[in-house]
Amino acid sequence: MHLSPDEPNQFSLSRFESMLQTNDVYFFDSEEFEGIIHHYLEHGKIALAKKATKLGLAQHPTSMNLKLFEVEMMIFENKLDQAEVLLDQLYILEQSNEEIFIQKANILSRRNQHRQAIILLEQALSISEDQLDVLSLIGMEYLFLEDYENAKTYFMRCVDEDTEDYSALYNVVYCFEFLEQHTEAIVYLNEFLDHNPYCEVAWHQIGKQYYQLKDYQKALAAFDFAIISDDRFIGAYLEKGKVLERLKDYGQAIESYMVTLTLDDPTSFALLRIGKCYEKLGQSDLALQFFNKCVEEDALLDKAWIAITDFYVKKKDFDKALYFIEKAVNIDGDNALYWKRHARISLKLNRYEEAEHAFRRTIELGNYELTTWLSRCDLLIKLGEHRAAINNLLQACEFHPDQAEIEFRLGGLYYLLNDQHKGQFHMINGLHLNHEFVMVIEILFPKVHALLSVQELIQNHQKPSV
């Protein structure tokens, strides 16, 4: 509900809560109840808001605003039919109340009838004295319809009504970005800045548009203006750091990220980027220090665990790399990126069964890259699990049909299992798809490659010379 009664004074609120605790009945005027209900809704205390609405209506049964709060409670609880009936009754009593149209539109929106909702909101707009909230609601309905041009128009009208409505400004830029109109967004924001030259939000958003256009110098200038406008604007320092990284000025990037650590609690993003910058500068100890701080700050940030793991992989310290990736897996066992690294590190340590299990988990978790299927297949061959290797490849064919690397492996495996007919079939498929991958047979199946029948097959399908 978009009525905005004044926040109740502390006395009214304390008195109301005392009434609830003692079961005494105190009298409040309707405006006091509105303030109390609004306070509870603003703080997400829906049960208390509902109780205040019920008590309010008991004392003021004809109050239109309290009845509209009752409608809002019904909509919140998804009692849409009941809310609609009550709204129809209220409409008969007061046909020029914009809130009735807004709540009817809210019901239609919840039913995914967004165009009908917009029609009602336009009616509300025509009778509203304070149009800002209604314009924003219409903009949101157009967003639901993925009509970004119209959404953009209404959010622009919000900004015209209130230049400090940064939520609307963000939505305008979001629409520009979705439409990939970065240059147009810059023009709009510059026009906005002509009248609001010290708006840090607008400078910040211009910088992000230039970043998307890869005009890093202009992006940097825009973020500097954002910082001049508000030297405690953490987002501007973070974005400036990203630009400096793109410009390979890692020292300055670190300084920019470091500022954010002094302004508020450290963010895992800043700690990770500082570590990455130190790594680029070859300062391994400091890089590792910040990677560790990052996982302490946010143990669920996969990029941090991956950064530590990759750090040790680059150092060829595979035991430590395995230690950290196993810690990551223990925290989030459903992360395919963790399992993929676990598999490759286990391979380096000749822990083949663990590597095969890790590749299997990687696939189960949705990583269907061809290299993952092939790596698991090659491990199963090494472990003598030929049937399992075939099943793995047949599944891979569903995602990667007509791949010579798969066909040659299937051919070699069927030959090993003395199924010459299937072996020949897949070998010929592979030779037709890409003759060069015949080396797969030579490397993985040397005994099969040595067979006279296989040699003749390869020769008969030799790629003709140009």
Average of per-residue pLDDT values in the chain? 90
Q: Which of 16-30, 73-87, 237-251 has the lowest mean pLDDT?
A: 16-30
Q: Which of 39-53, 319-333, 348-362 has the lowest mean pLDDT?
A: 39-53
Task: With beta carbons less than 8 A apart as the criterion, state whether 304 and 266 touch.
Answer: no
Per-residue pLDDT, averaged over 393-404, amounts to 96
Band of pLDDT at residue 283, cut at 50, 70 and 90 = very high
pLDDT attached to residue 56 = 77
Among 219, 273, 226, 224, residue whose Cα is nearest residue 250: 273
Band of pLDDT at residue 2, cut at 50, 70 and 90 = very low
Band of pLDDT at residue 61, cut at 50, 70 and 90 = confident
Per-residue pLDDT, averaged over 15-24, amounts to 75
pLDDT attached to residue 53 = 78
Per-residue pLDDT, averaged over 439-462, amounts to 91
Task: With beta carbons less than 8 A apart as the criterion, state whether 359 and 332 touch.
Answer: no
Band of pLDDT at residue 4, cut at 50, 70 and 90 = very low
Per-residue pLDDT, averaged over 423-449, amounts to 94
Residues 6 or more apart whose Cβ sits within 8 Å of residue 195: 163
Q: Is the pLDDT confidence value at 19 over 50?
A: yes
pLDDT attached to residue 5 = 44
Per-residue pLDDT of 107-144, as tens digits, reads 889 899 999 999 999 999 988 888 898 999 999 999 99
pLDDT attached to residue 257 = 97
Q: What counts of helices (H) and strands (E) characterise the chain? A: 28, 0
pLDDT attached to residue 6 = 46
Band of pLDDT at residue 13, cut at 50, 70 and 90 = confident
Band of pLDDT at residue 463, cut at 50, 70 and 90 = low
Q: Give the integer Cα–Cα distance in Å for 441 and 428.
A: 12
Task: With beta carbons less than 8 A apart as the criterion, state whether 295 and 305 touch.
Answer: yes
pLDDT attached to residue 3 = 41
Q: Which tokens go with 157?
A: 């009208």
Among 371, 348, 350, 349, residue whose Cα is nearest residue 359: 371
Centroid of chain to Cα 22:
47
φ, ψ at 321 (rounded to 5°): -60, -45
Per-residue pLDDT, averaged over 404-413, amounts to 96
Q: Give the integer Cα–Cα distance in Å for 462 and 466.
A: 12
Per-residue pLDDT, averaged over 433-448, amounts to 93
pLDDT attached to residue 9 = 67
Band of pLDDT at residue 466, cut at 50, 70 and 90 = very low
Per-residue pLDDT, averaged over 200-211, amounts to 97
Per-residue pLDDT, averaged over 91-119, amounts to 87
